Amino acid sequence: MVRIELLIDAHAELGEGPLWDVAEQRLYWIDSLGAMVHSCDAAGGAARSWKVPGHIGSLALREKRGAVLALRDGFYTLDFATGTARRIADPDPGKPRIRMNDGKVDRQGRFVAGYMDYEEREPLGSLFRLSTDFQVTRLESRIV
């Protein structure tokens, strides 16, 4: 029988998106509604948390340390050392009913993430690709 144990109680409102960093031997995850990025080691120790400026849909680790985030209003970088989150692109500005959601890194190291309608009813969403030099390309539009 499988035994499940609590690794760490981060008191997340909506915890998701676990991501293991092999090099650092750390687990990262987000609290989407709580606007937090969390991290701990394999034993649940050395926990760290960073507050970000809005709902977060996903994160990807950067080679130069830190992360790229898909937040409610665009792509951000997060510096783990300072806790500074900096917006690098708002690919679909002026649309209050949308937010960024899921995202993953492709084989070329580009972060692909999508916007969605908060109410999941209207085709207001789009899929974007953020290159390693922070150039944004729209891949798809009119996604529900």
Query: How far apart are alpha carbons 7 and 59 in whole angstroms?
Result: 20
Q: Which pLDDT does position 105 carry in this prediction?
A: 97
Q: Which of 110, 112, 116, 104 is nearest to 142 (CA)?
A: 116
Q: Kindly report the number of other CB atoms within 10 A of residue 68's CB atom.
A: 22
133's tokens: 């030099």
Please report where in the chains the tokens 């690709």 appear, as a residue: 129
Average pLDDT (6-21) is 93
pLDDT digits (tens, 9 = 90+) for 73-130: 999 999 999 999 999 999 888 788 888 999 999 999 999 999 888 888 888 889 999 9
User: In this structure, what token pair is assigned to residue 19?
Assistant: 């991501």
d(C-alpha 125, C-alpha 56), whole Å: 16
- Supply 79's token pair: 């510096």
Whole-prediction pTM: 0.91
Reply yes or no on domain 15-143 having CATH 1.10.150.120. Answer: no
